[in-house]
Amino acid sequence: MKMKEERRDLKAVDEKYQDQEYHGVNEEKSVSCSIKTTEVKRPFSCSQCGKSFTQKAHLKKHLLSHTSEKPFGCSQCGNTFSCKASLNRHMLIHTGIKPFSCSQCGKGFTQKIHLNKHLVSHSSEKPFSCSQCGNTFTCNRNLKNHMLIHAGIKPFSCSQCGKSFTRKGQLKNHLVSHTSEKPFSCSQCGKSYTRKTTLKDHMLIHAGIKPFSCAQCGNTFICKTSLEHHMFSHTGIKPFSCSQCGKSFTLKKCLKMHMLIHSGKKSFSCSQCGECFRSKSCLNRHMLIHAGIKPFSCSQCGKNFTSNRNLEMHLLIHAEIKPFSCSQCGKTFTRKGQLKDHLVTHSSEKPFSCSQCGKSFTYKSSLCNHMFIHAVIKPFSCSQCGKGFRLKGQLKIHLVTHAS
């Protein structure tokens, strides 16, 4: 019945505006040129929502939005569309044709409107600001999506776990987490990803491309979100605080990771050496040690690293930057962790003790190495004679004997 009513609406549009089209042409002849430039006639209006259009064809297309009718289907993936033009644009995805490219970064797009939106990301202009928190946005649509956060509206919920989201795209991305499928893998290091966009961002690491730079300190980043997160370090804003110790964080995911420290939960264990980790990503990084994979190399000395973060920290050595200094003796360090380890030397405290023999250590890493004795685990073996060692340093010393 509803479909018949819509058909009648379309027929009524034809009949209703036949005379208007004729009279409209004659009337325009008598109207002055100045009026034509300031006034736009929209004689075709929708009977359901009141929206008006300059052409009858536009109204006809619009009326389909009130129905569930999508007569144009894609032969490759089965997606359906209300008009042929939408189908034609969709087909560009399957063909891989992106006729509109950015002159600044070379990124390609299937539609001109997508290119126009992207071009704003290269400029610092953000004309749309939030009245509640002051955040600024490049387009009004992003501002509207942001306002849902303050309103607490999350209309898109996951059917599997019940988690809700403000945007449909966020839900789509989340649904992948319920599957173990990671179809997009890196050709250089073998790391896999659930989304193609994440793989593209990862490939920039190997290429050494960091197109987004901080205007305040000059630091560069591979993606815009990383730059946005970095900007919190300059403002000092840390909106996410721990309820147990009061420590604050710039990102919610950092707070979640921190909360695992208080719970002491380490669900992810290494199958080779038994070491446990709080997150899967930490375990994955650790597994690279056993595999001997070090895809990140220093351009100055050729030293290789398992992660990009370790490479960045190493580069501070060449730059002779040591921002962390000891308040007691003045010694400086490239990393905060090194300073923390050093501060223990000023005290007699040995907080890490062995559960089997009671021996105490100043560092957790020393305790972990000690535990290999009780477990009789020797994860580092010589490729020439097969002899096993508990520590990597011991293996290095042993390799010298073969060289001589």
State residue 11's pLDDT score.
54
In the block, tokens 């193609």 appear at 196
CB 143 within 8 A of CB 137: yes
* Cβ neighbours of residue 239 closer than 8 Å, sequence gap 6 or more: 248, 250
* Helices 2-16, 18-30: crossing angle, 10 deg rounding: 40
pLDDT category at 275 given cuts 50, 70, 90 is confident
Question: Distance between CA atoms of 71 and 68, rounded to whole angstroms?
Answer: 10
Question: Exposed, middle or buried, 265 (CB in 10 Å: 0-12/13-18/19+)?
Answer: exposed
CB 140 within 8 A of CB 126: no
CB-side neighbour CA atoms (13 Å) of 130: 17
366-393 pLDDT per residue, tens: 888 787 777 777 878 888 898 888 778 8
Question: Distance between CA atoms of 119 and 336, rounded to whole angstroms?
Answer: 38
Calculate ∠ Cα 122-308-364, nearest 5°: 135
- Mean pLDDT (the chain, rounded): 79
DSSP 223: S
State residue 39's pLDDT score.
59
CB 352 within 8 A of CB 367: yes
Question: Exposed, middle or buried, 125 (CB in 10 Å: 0-12/13-18/19+)?
Answer: exposed
State residue 63's pLDDT score.
81
146-179 pLDDT per residue, tens: 888 888 888 888 888 888 888 888 888 788 878 8
* DSSP H or E stretch at residue 19: helix 18-30
In sign, the C-alpha dihedral spanning 210, 211, 214, 217 is: positive
Pick from 5-9, 19-23, 246-250 the range whose average pLDDT is largest. 246-250
Mean local confidence (pLDDT), 252-256: 82
Q: Do domains 54-123 and 352-401 have the same CATH topology?
A: yes
Question: Distance between CA atoms of 355 and 369, rounded to whole angstroms?
Answer: 14
In the block, tokens 């173990």 appear at 180
pLDDT category at 329 given cuts 50, 70, 90 is very high
CA dist 387 to 290, 372, 390, Å? 16, 15, 11
pLDDT category at 9 given cuts 50, 70, 90 is low
pLDDT at 295 over 60: yes
CB 308 within 8 A of CB 298: no
Question: Distance between CA atoms of 129 and 230, rounded to whole angstroms?
Answer: 20
Count of beta carbons in the 10 Å neighbourhood of residue 306: 20
- Residue 194: what residue type? T
Beta strands in 99-196 (DSSP E): 100-101, 108-109, 128-129, 136-137, 156-157, 164-165, 184-185, 192-193
- Three-state DSSP state, 147: helix
State residue 36's pLDDT score.
40
Task: Tally the residues of the chain.
Answer: 404
State residue 26's pLDDT score.
44
- Residue 12: what residue type? A
pLDDT at 309 over 70: yes
Question: Distance between CA atoms of 136 and 114, rounded to whole angstroms?
Answer: 20
Taking the domains of the chain in order of start, what are their residue ranges? 54-123, 352-401
Could you confirm whether domain 352-401 is CATH 3.90.1150.10?
no
Which class in CATH covers the domain with range 54-123?
alpha beta
Calculate ∠ Cα 19-20-24, nearest 5°: 120
Bridge partners, residue 157, by sequence = 164
31-43 pLDDT per residue, tens: 333 334 445 678 8
pTM: 0.33
pLDDT category at 29 given cuts 50, 70, 90 is very low
- Residue 396: what residue type? K
